[in-house]
Amino acid sequence: MKAYTKQDFPVADIRRFLEPGPIVLVSSARNGETNIMTMGWHMVMEFVPSLVGCYVWSENHSFDMIRKSKECVINIPTVELTPKVVGIGNSSGRETDKFARFGLTARPGTEVKAPLIAECYANFECRLVDASLIRKYSLFVLEVVKAHVATSPRYPRTIHYRGDGVFMISGTNSSRYRKHFRPGNL
Ligand SMILES: Cc1cc2nc3c(=O)[nH]c(=O)nc-3n(C[C@H](O)[C@H](O)[C@H](O)COP(=O)(O)O)c2cc1C
């Protein structure tokens, strides 16, 4: 296999290559108010307990809603919801009821007060379990305490942000390399 020809690349833009986990919608509730934000910067941190690290910018209305209620739901939208995902990311819950404006259905969770978004493929109810990195990095360490996942399709068409207004839509799956895996890594 031949080596790639490369050029210098701005370090501030390398996120374009690292970001493409699915874009998620994070819903929250506090003092009778609900909200939704669009999020691309998240990472799995542990299997058991099921930990996810999320970057929430301090200027976002969701920042205090999640920090103070210590709860949220990570919802996984599919490609049909892309216009709403962008609209939710373009607006702030300070001025808008995003469930009403974007025609999304809030369903109660079982473990947290934050609502699930019914139109999303999966909903992960989360509790804030470590707030120590919020001040320095705006990093919320969340534990998924309950997960609701659609029965089909098995592989949803999720959207993955590549920066500069470009989404990659998940497509082809391959099990071709599965036999080479160490079982513990599956
Ligand atoms: C594709 C996309 C990805 C985004 N990723 C993040 C993110 O990872 N963290 C974040 O704080 N804001 C992110 N944003 C911006 C927020 O969604 C946006 O600021 C939103 O309006 C916040 O809503 P709120 O003020 O109601 O909380 C993203 C926006 C878009 C469109």
Q: Is the pLDDT of residue 4 over 90?
A: no
Confidence of residue 180 (pLDDT cuts 50, 70, 90): very high
| Contact indicator for 35, 98 with CB cutoff of 8 Å | yes
Q: Is the pLDDT of residue 34 over 80?
A: yes
Q: Which atom of ligand 1 is nearest to the CA of 167?
A: 1
CA pair distance 60, 91, nearest whole angstrom: 10
- Note the Cα 85 to chain centre separation in Å: 11
Average pLDDT over residues 102-112: 98
CA pair distance 1, 46, nearest whole angstrom: 34
For residue 26, the CA-to-ligand 1 centroid distance in Å is 9
For residue 37, the CA-to-ligand 1 centroid distance in Å is 5
Give yes or no for residue 37 CB within 6 A of ligand 1.
Answer: yes
**Which of 10-14, 111-115, 126-130 shows the lowest per-residue confidence on average (mean pLDDT)?**
10-14
ω into 49 cis (within 30 of 0): yes
Confidence of residue 9 (pLDDT cuts 50, 70, 90): confident
For residue 89, the CA-to-ligand 1 centroid distance in Å is 5
pLDDT number for residue 17: 82
Q: Is the pLDDT of residue 78 over 80?
A: yes
Give yes or no for residue 161 CB within 6 A of ligand 1.
Answer: yes
For residue 108, the CA-to-ligand 1 centroid distance in Å is 23
pLDDT number for residue 50: 95
Q: Cα–Cα distances in Å, from 135 out to 40, 54, 64, 66, 96?
A: 20, 13, 12, 14, 26
Q: For residue 167, give both structure tokens.
A: 């989404």
Share of the chain above pLDDT 90, in %: 91
Q: Which atom of ligand 1 is nearest to the CA of 60?
A: 25
Confidence of residue 87 (pLDDT cuts 50, 70, 90): very high
CA pair distance 91, 161, nearest whole angstrom: 18
CA pair distance 121, 76, nearest whole angstrom: 6
